[in-house]
Every structure is written in structure tokens, then in C-alpha cells.
Structure 1
Amino acid sequence: MMKLDARLAAVAAFVPQGSRVADIGTDHGYLAVALVEEGRAPFVIASDLPVGPCEAARRTVRAEGLEDRIEVRQGDGLTVLQPGEVDTVCIAGMGGVLMTEILAAASEVWKSLTALVLQPMTGEEELRRYLYAHAWHVADETLVVADDRLYTVIRAARGHRKMPDDVTLAIGPVLLTRRDEYLRQHIESQLFLARRAAAGMEKSERAKKSVKYQAVSQRIKELEEKLVW
């Protein structure tokens, strides 16, 4: 049985039971194997762009004897898929902006999906905004610690919802509602970056008068307000 670290285990846990899954950016294929072995997915397409990860994934699949249930494809993002081949796509370990580009590059495939499980390394606000702007929404999300780093995992579902405000998009609408155990750490990490940016601009009178400085100052205030509960 494939053993996943906490980050990939959280991704796997968000995959709806019985889904036909595509694991985009599969690397060694560990997530794909775990989904099949746990009985969560009857079939997985595991893909990556470089040759090396695809070969590594094929070795992993062969070692587990799952060639009949996991297909490894080399290619760019969702372009390796045909509309309707899978209903759930997992993308982990990439920037959130890159994820939006991957979705935009294969709109017909994206339209055929019912669930997305996303683990962005950066750009969470931009990713959530893109989802809401394209008739998707955050159905669930969680924070998980792996290798002393805090990660966000998002499960998105199809359906129009009101666009959250900017600070809620940055933190996570479900995380805020549920008061996740790592929520305070999550907000404080964003506050640290915003305060550092503000401190840098405060060294220049011109920068302090800029629209960017006012926006950062406003974000600091909004984040601080979210820490009160």
C-alpha cells in the first residue's frame, strides 16, 4: 500500500469516492497509486510534462502491478485529456497562477469536470478568484503541515457563487468559516509578508504615497481583523 506524506494524503482525501481521476504533474505517480490502492478511484490518468517524471511514474505503477488501472501520459496540463475521460482532476505542487493557465488552456476538458483538487504553492488568492469568476467555487479546503511547511488544499466544485472579498479569497472562505486549527498561523504568515512589503516601501516618501502602499496597508488592516475571534 502506497504511503503518502501529509500533503498528498490531504489531496487524496478530497477526491470524491469512485471518481475517475487525472493526476496532473504526477511526478513519481505516488498519488495516482494511492488513489487506486485505497479504492477511492477505479482508474487514474497520471501525467507530467517532462520525460523523467513520466518514466518514474511508469516504474512506480509497474512495481505496484497497476498498469491496467493507471495510465501514464506525457504532455502539458489538461491537454493530455479528452472531454469526459475523467470527472476529477488533481493538481498539486504548482503555483496557483500556473494552475489557472492550465485550466484556461483546455477549457473543453475543464467544462466536463465535476471536481478539482488543488494544492497551490503560491497564488492562492488568484486561484480562488479565477475559480469563482468561471462558475466554480471552493467547496472545501484544509490546511496541512508537511516537512515543517503549511500547505493549503482546495476542493472546488462546479456552480455559481458570489465572489468573496479579496482578503477572504487570500485566506480561504471555508478556512475562515470553519476556523481551521492552523488558520491563525496561515493568516499570520500572510501578515508577515504584507508587513515586510510595507516596511520596504516606508523607506521612501514617494513609495508611501503610492496606490500600492495604500493597498498593502489596507490588506494588513483586514488581515489583522480576521485574527480576532
Structure 2
Amino acid sequence: MKLDARLQAVLDFVPEGGAVADIGTDHGYLAAALIEEGRAEHVIASDLNLGPCEAARRTVREQNLKEQIEVRQGDGLTVLAPGEVQTACIAGMGGALMADILEAAPLVVRKLKVLVLQPMNGEYELRHYLYQHSWHIADETLVVADDRIYTVIRAEKGRRKMPDPLTLEIGPVLWEKKPELLRHHIESLLFATRRAAAGMEKSERAKKSAKYKKMKERIKALEERLVW
């Protein structure tokens, strides 16, 4: 099962052995690759909607993996029993929604050892939630797929000191490791902030607001992070 760079990065963060949940499985490609590459012994693939579940079941049949992969339709982690899997992968949705999914199944989350998360946006909210709830970022990476940079996060159990807000947005491990794509990542955050500030500059009232002042401070802080 050939994966794109985004899903391959998710797979690479999954520890070998044990049972894995693929939440929001879509076509089931990640679930199939987890078995075929020996990352998991058993996978529970789930999706909220019937269409993706049917597509995943088709992939499972075509790859002859019915003994190793079970497809369940349902909402997030609520399809799981506590302790049924050790690792949960959630990819292709917003970070705030991922936090909601974790919040909705506390008994399941309590038994998990590893979370592999690929947010489409809302990285700050997701990282903040993790640190607030006794998880921490053990590893992160940036990958390019479809001309877009994606963040992939591996979170593990254990309370750590909450990073400062800007580091939470950039990524604490990304900032520590300084991967090749980090400058592009920070520049994309800077571009979005400058664009929002430019919109506020059309209004004299907005330019005098505390929100605009904070935005200008954020631009300066991001510019400083481009130098190392």
C-alpha cells in the first residue's frame, strides 16, 4: 500500500507491535499500510460516515486483511473500548476537533500510550490541550504533500512544562530540531499574521485596538524566530 508523504509520516511515528486505531480512516490506506509494514498486529479503522467506512472495507478486502483490520462506523474514539488499542492515529482534520475527540472519550484516552496526530490547522490549540492533559510532544516532523506543508505530531503520556504560546504554535520539538522545512513553516505563519494585520490597518479604530497591538508583537516575534 503506497502512502503519500503525509500518511507515511504518520505511519513512521507509530511504535511497532500491538493494536492501533486509525480514526477518520477515509479509504483505509493507513490501516492497510500499518499491517503490511509490520507496524501493527491489529488495526481498528473508524470513520463517522458510511461512505469512508465502505471504502475502507473495500481496501481491506482487496488487500486480504480482514483478519487484521476491523472497520467500525462511529464518532471518534468512542468506537473503542478502554485498553483495546495502545496507539491512536488521527489525521486529516482540524486540531481543535482532535482535542474535542480526545475530550469526548476520557476512559479510552487514559489507556492510550501514544497519539499520532496530523492536524490540518489549529496546531496551537491541539498542543495546548495535550500539555494541559498530561501529554507532551515527544516528536514532530514537517512534510510536503500536494504542495502543502503538513505537521505530524507524536504525543506520549507524561506531564511536562507548558511551552510558551509562540513555541506551542511553531512546535516545541520542531523548534528544537530545526528541520529543513522549519523556515517555510514559520514564514507561512508570518504570512497569515501579516495578512490579518493588513486587513486591520484599513480601519483606524482597529489599528488602535489591543488585538492589533498583539498582532504586531506576534509578527516581530515570528520574524525573530527566522534567525538562528
**TM-score interval w.r.t. the shorter chain?**
over 0.9
Please tell me whether residue 144 in structure 1 is matched to residue 130 in structure 2: no
Provide runs of 4+ in structure 1 moved above 2 Å. Answer: none
For structure 1, the residue ranges without an aligned partner over 5 or more in a row are: none
Equivalence for 2:205: 206
Please tell me whether residue 115 in structure 1 is matched to residue 118 in structure 2: no
Deviation at 1:190, TM superposition (A): 0.2
Per-residue CA deviations over 1:47-81 (Å, capped at 9, x if unaligned) read 00100000000010011111010000000000000
Question: For residue 57 of structure 2, what is the amino acid of its counterpart?
Answer: R
Equivalence for 2:48: 49
SS in structure 1 of the partner of residue 139 of structure 2:
strand
Equivalence for 2:155: 156
- The count of corresponding residues between Structure 1 and Structure 2 is 228
Identity within the alignment, % = 72
Equivalence for 2:184: 185
Deviation at 1:143, TM superposition (A): 0.1
Equivalence for 2:29: 30
SS in structure 2 of the partner of residue 130 of structure 1:
helix
Aligned-CA RMSD value: 0.6
Equivalence for 2:105: 106
For residues 19 and 181 of structure 1, do their structure 2 counterparts lie closer, same or farther at Cα, with a shift above 3 Å needed? farther
Equivalence for 1:174: 173
TM-score of the aligned structures, taking structure 1 as reference length: 0.99
TM-score of the aligned structures, taking structure 2 as reference length: 0.99
Equivalence for 2:86: 87
Equivalence for 1:196: 195
Q: How do residues 69-84 of structure 1 correspond to structure 2 at under 5 angstroms?
A: 69-84=68-83
Deviates more, 1:206-215 or 1:59-68: 206-215
Deviation at 1:19, TM superposition (A): 3.2
- In 1, the alpha carbon distance for the partners of 2:207 and 2:81 equals 51
Equivalence for 2:11: 12
Equivalence for 1:67: 66
- In 2, the alpha carbon distance for the partners of 1:36 and 1:209 equals 56
SS in structure 1 of the partner of residue 126 of structure 2:
helix
Per-residue CA deviations over 1:126-152 (Å, capped at 9, x if unaligned) read 100000000001000000001111000
Deviation at 1:214, TM superposition (A): 1.4
- In 2, the alpha carbon distance for the partners of 1:132 and 1:209 equals 34
Deviation at 1:94, TM superposition (A): 0.2
- In 2, the alpha carbon distance for the partners of 1:71 and 1:138 equals 29
- In 1, the alpha carbon distance for the partners of 2:48 and 2:125 equals 23
